[in-house]
Structure 1
């Protein structure tokens, strides 16, 4: 069945009940909660969050997206390098931290020992054929052990991982740690999988030198209506990171 451009446009318009950026701060950062240098331990792009329902419509759209998986992964690998710089600059702007990216962390005495001791390569595996690995920077450290690439679930779960972060801060003489986990999020698929809602999700976590969570904001970009056939659809989402990060950190900051 051939669907006209007018019908596609109507489908896209009908999808959008809320197109605004959404910011949800779960832990507000208070002044002086971190004292000293902040190391960006990792900035990570997880596998895309793809629609499940309606079953046939979601399968049709996901099929289009998965055909572009190699190009999406390449775009994410390129983006991750820029994201480290953006996050560092925005942390300086909002909190006046002295920030060390993973590139600068790797120059510190003790860094290689930390990476050898704590980095959990197996946690990066997703068990997904199209998006088999979490995307991180070459020098990033993911010090937690979790399954199927479920990083957000681990960080927000009941496991006490503060000791790991405390040990890393002590070995690298850091006052705190920043972690950022990002996902392409494609939901709200239209009939026949012709179009979908898509946005960029970003969760930023700040920890002090005791490994205690002192700041956490989940941010969701404005919705883009996409047909999903072109890599540009997904690149446009990845390009929203700068503004989204700036707004997320502003929202996390206490106004007291």
Structure 2
């Protein structure tokens, strides 16, 4: 059961990519720690199942936001909506991402390249732009974005995904440097090999039972989202 004295009691948290995998696991843990959640994902059914699970455990009823992150104007409106309802934001978890094709760079259609960049990079920029004013109104605004070791691996066929994560890291580190004199702290989390649908798509021959479940990451997210966290501009490896 959630506790009124949980580490996130009274805190407002936005989580993207919340309907499954890492996002859903983090949402359940944050709810158990007392957070009020705003859950964003494209899959309505997945959000509703997560809502049921959180309320079954006694968590606060989350706000469900079915939304495609490529809808930039919708992300712009998000900040105004949250300001009207809550007057602040304490936590932003930028978890949503897509893999894109694992194929030679020269074979990638421009529209596919653009989609990966829009979801993995531009959407996070729009979230920062929309929600930074609300994070500044928190006594301890915290933002955590999910990256990958592929950002610096230089592996063949991983072009769009690797480039998008490298760009995300540059974006987040720049933002972190800009908020050093505020109450905001911003970091990146690199999960490593985790049992998710994206991992299964990238490595279809791998035994999923040999991998850590998404729940194994929750302590790392909780640490980086907690008001006591003073890390800033770091890439935290959850290996």
Which bin holds the TM-score, normalised by the shorter protein?
A: 0.3 to 0.5
Please identify which structure carries the higher helix content: 2
Higher relative contact order by CA 8 Å / sep ≥ 6: 1 or 2? 1
**Structure (1 or 2) with the greater strand fraction:** 1
Q: Greater Rg, structure 1 or structure 2?
A: 1
Query: Which TM-score applies when normalising by structure 1?
Result: 0.33
Q: TM-score, normalised by structure 2?
A: 0.35
